[in-house]
């Protein structure tokens, strides 16, 4: 924010957002029941859609078919082909009428600066249909490890292979001993 105006920051792609989505998919694959991840839905529950992500992507994603291929390719390259066979991707169109019928978990706060960019997609002022992606994961029969995409600006990943699990409503990458114990508990025939 500068002089009461918002400037768009032009940063090189760091893959941070993509890695966070892939961490969640990895944790879901290592869980015991099918799990669901909605892409294009804000934390407050507002359906923002994936159109901005598709239009502004540096990955050259011109349509939903390419978006689907990109998701499966990312999962295959970071977790393996078997992991990619345990996910399903559906697209859901949310019309302005649909948006009014959704029971939102939290009240949307328009006073937060970052939401002002998405006012036209906000549930109270929505005026167009948006698309959200529903990723369904099915439990893997073997542990699924995750190799993060390269990040130039963020060196938070030291290991080459990570094992994410669910801890409440968040993903967790445990230390080596905890990971081995989790694998023993969840996949007793693996070790």
Report pLDDT for 73. Answer: 93
Report pLDDT for 1. Answer: 42
pLDDT at 81 over 80: yes
* Tokens of residue 5, six digits: 């105006």
Beta carbons within 10 angstroms of residue 98's beta carbon: 14
Give the whole-angstrom CA distance, residue 165 versus residue 107: 29
The SS3 assignment for 170 reads strand
pLDDT confidence of 37, banded at 50, 70, 90?
A: very high
Mean pLDDT of the region 47-75: 83
Report pLDDT for 26. Answer: 95
Locate all alpha helices (DSSP H) within the chain, ordered by sequence. 16-29, 51-55, 64-79, 81-84, 96-101, 176-186
Q: How far is CA 137 from CA 83, 128, 169, 180, in A?
A: 9, 29, 16, 22
pLDDT averaged over the chain? 78
Residue 1: burial class (beta carbons within 10 Å; 0-12, 13-18, 19+): exposed
More confidently predicted of 62 and 147: 147
- Asked if 173 and 166 count as a contact pair (C-beta separation under 8 A), the reply is no
More confidently predicted of 91 and 10: 91
Cα 181 from chain centre:
26
Lowest mean pLDDT segment, chosen from 76-85, 113-122, 167-176? 113-122
Report pLDDT for 112. Answer: 54
Give the whole-angstrom CA distance, residue 148 versus residue 173: 12
Report pLDDT for 83. Answer: 95
pLDDT confidence of 104, banded at 50, 70, 90?
A: low
Mean pLDDT of the region 67-82: 93
List, for residues 115-166, the tens digit of each pLDDT value: 555 554 455 455 788 899 999 999 999 999 998 887 544 455 555 788 888 8
pLDDT confidence of 107, banded at 50, 70, 90?
A: low
For CA atoms 74, 62, 153, 3, the dihedral sign is negative
Give the whole-angstrom CA distance, residue 92 versus residue 70: 18
DSSP symbol at 137: E
Give the whole-angstrom CA distance, residue 133 versus residue 88: 10
CA atoms within 13 A on the CB side of 119: 6
């Amino acid at each position: 924010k500068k002089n009461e105006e918002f400037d768009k920051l032009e940063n090189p792609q760091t893959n941070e957002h993509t890695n966070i989505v892939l961490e969640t998919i990895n944790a879901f694959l290592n869980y015991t029941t099918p799990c669901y991840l909605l892409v294009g839905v804000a934390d407050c529950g507002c359906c923002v859609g994936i159109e901005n992500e598709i239009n502004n992507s540096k990955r050259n994603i011109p349509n939903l078919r390419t978006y689907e291929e990109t998701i499966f390719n990312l999962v295959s390259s970071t977790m393996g082909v078997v992991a990619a066979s345990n996910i399903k991707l559906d697209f859901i169109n949310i019309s302005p009428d649909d948006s009014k019928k959704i029971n939102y978990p939290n009240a949307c706060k328009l006073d937060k600066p970052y939401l002002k960019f998405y006012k036209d997609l906000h549930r109270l002022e929505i005026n167009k249909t948006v698309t959200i992606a529903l990723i369904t994961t099915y439990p893997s029969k073997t542990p699924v490890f995750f190799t993060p995409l390269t990040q130039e600006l963020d060196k938070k990943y030291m290991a080459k292979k990570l094992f994410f699990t669910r801890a409440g409503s968040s993903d967790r990458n445990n230390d080596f001993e905890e990971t081995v114990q989790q694998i023993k508990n969840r996949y007793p025939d693996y070790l």
